[in-house]
Amino acid sequence: MTTVESITAEARQLHRKGDYGAAMKCHFEALEMLENENGRVHIDTADRYRRMGAVMDDANDFDKAREYFETAISILSDIDTNEARLTQGEICEAVGNLLYKQEDYHAAIEKFTEALGVLKSCDGADGAKMDEIEYLIEVAHMMAD
């Protein structure tokens, strides 16, 4: 029997090889299984969308990547746990990086600022990660000017 874990391992391997289409096919299969098992508003479902966003980011399909990342953020905003907020902050940072790569510095600053705010509201947030995001905000400001 195929499991989400085995599909995830296959997707990860395909992603590393640069076979983004096949990786996405695996992610869609896993997403369907997760939504059937847990429903849409679940941290595992949000994580699947995050993974899909990462694949599309690496494939340079930034619009699709952002769509998947924003879907993950939306799902996580409906889950009131520290883990969900930490993950939401990390994904906001990923969107900020995506926007930065597209040279949309003002939008990147907004997303980095959102990431920082979310992470500051979490217990056990990584101080080094928050310092890194503050640095990214500074760099984006310099690029925007």
Question: Does position 117 have pLDDT exceeding 80, yes or no?
Answer: yes
Residue 119 near residue 125, CB atoms below 8 Å: yes
pLDDT at 96: 98
Residues 52, 68, single domain; the answer is: yes
φ, ψ of residue 102 to 5 degrees: the values are -85, 5
Identify the domain boundary among 21, 45, 79: 79
The mean pLDDT value for 114-143 works out to 95
Same domain, 50 and 99: no
For residue 47, the one-letter residue type is: D
| 32 and 103 within one domain | no
Q: Could you report how far apart the first and last alpha carbons of the chain are, in Å?
A: 55
Q: Read out DSSP for 55-119? A: HHHHTT-HHHHHHHHHHHHHHHHT--SHHHHHHHHHHHHHHHHHHHHTT-HHHHHHHHHHHHHHH
Residue where a domain terminates, one of 79, 105, 122:
79
Domain with 48, as residue range(s), is 1-79
Residues 100, 62 share a domain: no
* In a shared domain, residues 24 and 70: yes
Percentage of residues in the chain with pLDDT exceeding 70? 99
72 and 117 co-located in one domain: no
| pLDDT tens column, 64-106 | 999 999 999 999 999 999 999 999 999 999 999 999 999 999 9
CATH of the domain at 102: 1.20.58
Residues 6+ apart with CB under 8 A from 52: 24, 27, 28, 31, 68
Count of domains forming the chain:
2
Q: Is the pLDDT of residue 46 over 70?
A: yes
Please return the burial class of 70, using the count of CB atoms within 10 Å of its CB with bins 0-12, 13-18 and 19+.
Answer: middle
Q: What is the CATH number of the domain that holds 18?
A: 1.25.40.10
Residue in this structure with the two tokens 């995506």, named with its chain if needed = 98
71: Cβ–Cβ under 8 A, 6 or more apart, which residues? 46, 49
Same domain, 25 and 74: yes
Q: Which of 60, 79, 98 is the last residue of a domain?
A: 79
Q: Is residue 66 domain-shared with residue 91, that is, in the same domain? A: no
Q: Does residue 2 sit in the same domain as residue 67?
A: yes
| Averaged pLDDT, 23-52 | 97
